[in-house]
Structure formats: C-alpha cells, structure tokens
Amino acid sequence: MDKKEWEVQAKKFGRKLAMLRTERKVTQEDLSWGMQVDRTYISLLERGLRNPTLKRLWQISKVLKVPLTELVKF
C-alpha cells in the first residue's frame, strides 16, 4: 500500500470514528477521558492524521460500546 492509499484509509477510519461517536452522543472529550488520552488525539484520529494502535482501537470500542471490528468496516 502506498502512502497516498494509506492516507485515504486513515481518513475513512477517521470519518467512521466520528460517525460512531456522534451517533452515540459521545463527545471527543468523553472519548478521550475514557481512553485516558488528550482530546487532541481524538481530533487527529478523526481527521486521519494519526494511526491508532491495537490498544487504542480496543479502548475506543469499549468506550463507544461497539465491536472492535465495527471500527474498521468502511
């Protein structure tokens, strides 16, 4: 996968994360608190500027109460 394609996938993930979060009425602040990270990290994820580790994906799934696999279906 080249860099451009990876950037596209990161943006898709970010849009999916934002959609799941807002559907559940969870703020970036709430999500960051549940994950014990700074709110700016959530913002960077949602804009496709950061790539989450498996640990972070697991934390997101727990806070949003969605299966981990749902986070990467886009």
pLDDT tens digits for range 4-28: 999 999 999 999 999 999 999 999 9
Instruction: State pTM to two decimals.
Output: 0.92
Q: Where are the domains of the chain?
A: 3-63
Domain 3-63: CATH superfamily, name plus number: lambda repressor-like DNA-binding domains (1.10.260.40)
pLDDT tens digits for range 20-54: 999 999 999 999 999 999 999 999 999 999 999 99
What does the buried/exposed string (b/e) look like for 10-42 if buried means 16 or more CB atoms within 10 Å of the residue's CB?
beebbebbbebbeeeebebebbbeebebeeebb
